[in-house]
Amino acid sequence: MSPTAMRSNDALPYENPSLPVDQRVDDLLSRLDLEDKVGQMFHPMATLEDVDTPNVEFGLPTLRETIVEKRISHYGLLGSKATPREFAEWYNAVQRIALARPLGIPVTFSTDTRHALSADPRNALTGNPESESPPGFFSQWPETLGIAAIGSDAVAEGFADVVRQEYRALGLRVALHPQVDLATEPRWPRIFATLGEDVELTCRMARALVRGLQGAELGPDSVATMVKHFPGGGPQQDGEDPHFPFGREQVYPGGMFELHLRPFVAALEAGASQMMPYYGMPMGTEYEEVGFGFNRSVITGVLRERLGFDGIVCTDWSLVSDGVALGDPIAARAWGAEHLTPKERVLKSLDAGVDQFGGEYRTDLVLELVREGRVSIERIDRSVRRLLREKFVLGLFDDPFVDADLAARTVGRADFVEAGLDAQRRSLTLLTNREVAGAPLLPLRRPLRVYAEGIKPGLLAAHAEVAATPQTADVAVLRLRAPHEPRPGLAAGFHTGSLEFPAELHARVAAIAAAVPTVVVVFLDRPAVLGALTQAATAVLADFGSSDEALLSVLFADAEPQGSLPFDLPRSMRAVIESRSDVPFDTEDPQFPFGHGLRYAGAEPAEAVRTA
C-alpha cells in the first residue's frame, strides 16, 4: 500500500512519482512546519523492540514517541530479530506509524556492518558480549580487511552487492559504511573495519564497495553509503581512539593530511551519497583544532567547497548530549567544544556544514536556535532538502514497505552464504610454511591426528582424528587473536595498546611446537607483532575473519589461501612507537611487508606492489 492510499485519494504533487524528484522535494518542503523540518535533522538509534517500550540500557525513549512527537524519520538500528521475516514485519509496522502522520514521511533505517563473521571486535562501540549489529541470519564474510587481503575489485563489489540485497530486503536503506580510513597507526583499535594501509588498494576497494551498495547511481534498488570517517580517522595519537577523551587528538607528524583524504575522494567519485566526519580533532595542521563534526574548515572548506560534495553530512554519534551506554553514563564526544553548552555545540556543527546529528534526539535545541534568530530557516531548509531528496531517490515515498516473504527468501540465501564462505577461505593469508620431512607442512595430508585450540572438535573430526594432547598428535593447530591491553568500562571493547604477545603465550606456543609441528592462525584485527611465534610455529596463517569451516578447508587443501597482507606487520613495538602515525609503511624493517602472502603451489609469494 502506498502512503498516498493510506491517507487520501487526492495525491499531492510530492506524492506523484511521475514528477521530477526536485519538484517533489520542493512541494513537500513547502508543506512542512518547523518541527517537521527539524525532525529530519536527527539520526538517533533504535532497537528492534516493541515500539512503545523504552530501552533503559542505552537510554532510548520509545520509538513511537520519537516518530510522533519529535517528528524524527531516520534511525540507526541496534540488535536484530530471530528471523528475516520477523525483522521485515517489524520494519513494516514502524513504517505504518510514520505514514499515518500528516504528510506521511517514511522512515529511513541505517545499520553498521552486519556481515563480518568475527563478532568480537564489533563490540567496540559498546563493550557488549554480543555485537550491536549481529550477523545472525545474514551471510557471513570476512572483515573488510579480508576483502582487501583478497584484493579483487570484483570480489569487493560482489560482496557489497550481496550486502545491498540483504539490507534492501529488510528495509535497511543506509549503510553506515564503508570505513575507508587508512590504517597508518598500527595500534588504532578500529583497523579491523578498514581496507588496510595502502592508499591505492583502499581507493580501489572503496570505489568497488560504493558501486556494489549503490549501483551506478543512487536509486530505488540502492543502499546509500555513509562513508566514514571523513577526512580519515587513522592517524590517532598513540593509537588511542577518539570515542574517549584520552584519544581525541589526530596527528600528522608526516604532513600526510592529503593522503588520508584520497580514499574519500575515490568514494565520492563512485557516487557516495553521505559522509560521516570523525570525532577526532586535527592537531598541528592548518585546520581548526576541534572535532571534525564541529569543524567548518574541514566540512565546509574541504568537503563542500574544495571537493564539491552536496550530499548528506551526518555527524558521528553523540557529539552534543551526555548519554547512557549499558547503563553507564557517557559524556558527549565534543572534543574541542567541551566548554560549549549543548545548544552552542549544535550551532557550531550547523555552522560547520552538517545536515544531521547522529545518535541525538535534541530537536528542541535546533528549534530554540531558529526561534532565537541564531539559525535561519534557509539554513534548515538547505539540510532538509538534501535529506528529503535522498528519501525520494531511494523510492521510500513510492514503495515504503518490504515483502516479508522476499526477505525470508533473500537474507542468508544459500548462494550468498557460499560466496561469503569462499571469501573467508580466499582471505586467509599464508605467512610462513616450513618443511617437515622434506615437504611444506601445509596443506595437511590425511589421515592425521590433530590437536587443536580454538576450533570446534566436531568440525575438526570431519577432517582428522582429534587428539587430546600435543604429544598424541601429528600436528597442532592453534587459533589466536592479536594481542591488546585490557581497559576498564566501555573502553574494554576497544583493542588498543601493545601489539606484542605476552611472554606466557610465547612460552606455551613454543612448548607445543617443541612436541609437534604446529600451525598458528592469528586473527589480525590489528597488525600484531608476531615475533618469535614465527620461529616456533612451522606455519603461520593470518586470519581476517574466517570460520572454522573455512580454515579447515584451507588447511586440508580443499581450498587455497589467496590473501596478501593489507598492511605491514611490524617487527617490534619500538618500531611502532617510533613510526609516524599518519605515514603508511613507516615502521622500520617490518617482519612481513604489505602484500606478503604465500601460495601452496610452490609457496610462491603473491604479487604485490607498495603504492604509498
Taking residues 479-493, what's their average pLDDT?
90
Taking residues 426-443, what's their average pLDDT?
97
pLDDT band per the 50, 70, 90 thresholds, residue 133: low
Measured distance between the N- and C-terminal CA atoms of the chain, rounded to whole angstroms: 53
Taking residues 162-180, what's their average pLDDT?
98
Q: Which pLDDT belongs to residue 19?
A: 98
User: 419-578 adopts what CATH topology?
Assistant: Rossmann fold (3.40.50)
pLDDT digits (tens, 9 = 90+) for 390-413: 999 999 999 999 999 999 999 999
pLDDT band per the 50, 70, 90 thresholds, residue 123: very low
- Domain residue spans in the chain? 33-410, 419-578
Residue 171 to residue 75: CA distance in whole angstroms = 12
Q: Which pLDDT belongs to residue 490?
A: 79
**For all residues of the chain together, what is the average pLDDT?**
93
pLDDT band per the 50, 70, 90 thresholds, residue 492: confident
Q: Which pLDDT belongs to residue 558?
A: 93
pLDDT band per the 50, 70, 90 thresholds, residue 493: confident
b/e sequence 154-192, b meaning 16+ C-beta within 10 Å: ebbbbbbbbbbbbbbbbbbbbbbbbbbbbbbbbbbbbbb
Length of the chain: 612
CA distances from 461 to 356, 448, 510, 550 (A): 52, 10, 25, 14
Q: Which pLDDT belongs to residue 136?
A: 83
Q: Out of 157-171, 176-190, 590-604, which region has the weakest mean confidence (pLDDT)?
A: 590-604
**Greatest pairwise CA separation for the chain in angstroms:** 82
Q: What's CA 200's distance to the chain center, in Å?
A: 19
Q: Which pLDDT belongs to residue 328?
A: 73
pLDDT at 122 over 70: no
Q: How many CB atoms are located within 10 Å of the residue 63 CB?
A: 26
Question: pTM of the prediction?
Answer: 0.94
Q: Which pLDDT belongs to residue 135?
A: 64
Give the whole-number percent of the chain exceeding pLDDT 70. 93
Inter-axis angle of helices 414-427 and 153-170, nearest 10:
140
pLDDT at 8 over 50: no
Q: Are 33-410 and 419-578 in the same CATH fold? A: no
Q: Which CATH number fits domain 33-410: 3.30.499.10, 3.40.640.10, 3.20.20.300, 3.30.565.10?
A: 3.20.20.300
Q: Which pLDDT belongs to residue 131?
A: 44
**Residues carrying an active site annotation:** 316
Taking residues 20-33, what's their average pLDDT?
98
- Which DSSP category does 55 fall into? B
